[in-house]
Amino acid sequence: MGILRIGRFKPYESGLILGITVLAFLLMLMVQTAVGAEEGVKPYPNAPISFTELVDQVANEVVNISTTTVIKRGPGPSQFGPHKQFRDFFGDDFFERFFGQMPKERRQRSLGSGVVIDPKKGYILTNNHVVANAEEINVRLVDGKEYKAEVVGRDPKTDLALIKTKKSLDVKSGAPLGDSDTVKVGEWVMAIGNPFGLERTVTVGILSAKGRVIGAGPYDDFLQTDAAINPGNSGGPLFNMKGEVIGINTAIVATGQGIGFAIPINIAKELLPQLEKGKVIRGWLGVSIQEVTEDIAKSFKLEKAEGALVAEVIEDSPAEKSGLERGDIVISFDGKNVASPNELQRAVANTPPNKRVKAEVMRDGKTRTLTVKVGAMPDEIPETAKAVTTGLGLTVQTLTPELAEQFDWPRDEKGVLITDVESGSAGAEAGLRRGDLVKEINLQVVEDTKQYKRLVGKAKAGESLLLFVKRGSRTFYITLTLESE
């Protein structure tokens, strides 16, 4: 093995070399710093050296919103008084002499943010949760001017609201609304709001992700940013570097830092005409849908795990009238591909009621095209899609493939699933459990909650019903006496 000899260490030579090296490095650093100062070298391409111009451009369009909500106090012990057991023993008169009566209602004040979109009309866009149930709404501009405001329209499902001041706003112009579809991950963004009551707080960051589903509602499609967003920022705008609003800040991850969410402004732009009218009316099909997983795709012999699987079709709904069936996989709607249940939900919701559209579905390995006349979403979902509680003390639901998977039943199993058993009820005393499957009532087959309600409804209080129940691999008959409701 060859050995490379290294010259003897010489302190004076090494010191001289080190000194020359350090001097050269410092000179080079000074030159680079001077050039950078002259040419405005940026830490990242396209990153602004300063955000001051942008802040000056958009700050006047952001408002602080303060609300007052009246909270009614229910019956119960005084906030400072002893527990109910002691009050029951000594009596209310005794304790009211020492503790006094609690007020029946209290006023709760909250802070939020908003963005001016039409100063002449007094229109301000904000979050629904900022103004929901508010008795009083006050708006304050950057210059300190205050205005009384009222709700024009709210949409809890997207957490958006449009409010209006009683006078025109003394603002030069409304904030321009950008295009959240074209904004790219990694772009710089700016949030301005009222976090913790600290007015006109400016934070910057980048767009971290798009299309986030966080479980906030049926139409989740959030922008994610690492710009600091805190309580009080709700309803405030998320700007791009052009000064355009690309989102309305709405949520944070409580356990995480640098994770905030904003509603894409394109969703707000779609809803604004309806918010101005005071109510959002969405399209409706009347189906329960679920994700197409890899396993489900294999079971249905699909090439890709895409689409929306129909788990239930509500009776007399637009879906049923159009020929949609349980087990269909919707792959396109109104000419647009459907990759997930969320995409189908948003597409249907954005379709005007009574419009006829084409829907492509996979059924029995073949593609079929159906014509669907979209309905208007009802205020309450029809009973067949809900859990049903009866005088037997049982809460039941139609067994869907999704519920079957959750409760370890075969996907093609049919019946009515017991999801809850009331303590002390006839069902509980008979030993029925959550997860049991009702197959028959009085020797008649039961496959959905409509049949279940019809058969139970025939019986009068005190009469007995014969249930055929399946539990795991075991089946058995059981008799229950109907209680008076």
Between the alpha carbon of residue 181 and those of residues 165, 178, 185, 221, 263, the distances in Å are: 30, 9, 11, 11, 12
In the annotation, is 159 catalytic?
yes
The catalytically annotated residue of 234, 317, 322, 425 is 234
Give 264's Cβ-side CA count (13 Å radius): 19
| Greatest pairwise CA separation for the chain in angstroms | 109
Q: Which of 78, 92, 129, 226 is catalytic?
A: 129
- Report the half-sphere exposure of 352 (CA within 13 A, side-chain side): 5
Is residue 83 among the annotated active site residues?
no
How far is residue 370 from each of residues 5, 324, 331, measured CA to CA in Å?
A: 84, 8, 12
Stretch (H or E) spanning 53: helix 52-58
Residue 322 is inside which H or E element, if any?
helix 318-322
Quote the tokens at residue 196. 């913790």
List b or e across 346-361, with b for residues whose CB sees 16 or more CB atoms inside 10 angstroms: bbbbebeeeeebebbb
Contacts of 173 (CB under 8 A, 6+ apart): 61, 119
Query: Residue 452: which of 439, 461, 463 has the closest Cα?
Result: 439
β-bridge pairing 416-421 and 437-441: antiparallel
Q: Token pair 């059924």 is at which residue?
A: 363
Angle at 78 (CA atoms; ends 73, 79), nearest 5 degrees: 80
267's tokens: 């969703």
Active site residue 436: no
- Among the residues of 210-314, which ranges form H helices? 265-276, 294-299
Q: How far is CA 332 from CA 267, 290, 293, 306, 336, in A?
A: 21, 15, 17, 10, 5
Are 380 and 366 in contact by the 8 Å Cβ rule? The answer is: no
Out of 66, 118, 155, 159, the active site residue is: 159
DSSP per residue, 433-482: -TT-EEEEETTEE--SHHHHHHHHHHSPTT-EEEEEEEETTEEEEEEEEP
C-alpha span between 120 and 137 (Å, rounded): 18
Burial class (CB in 10 A: 0-12, 13-18, 19+), 97: exposed
Q: Which residues are catalytic?
A: 129, 159, 234
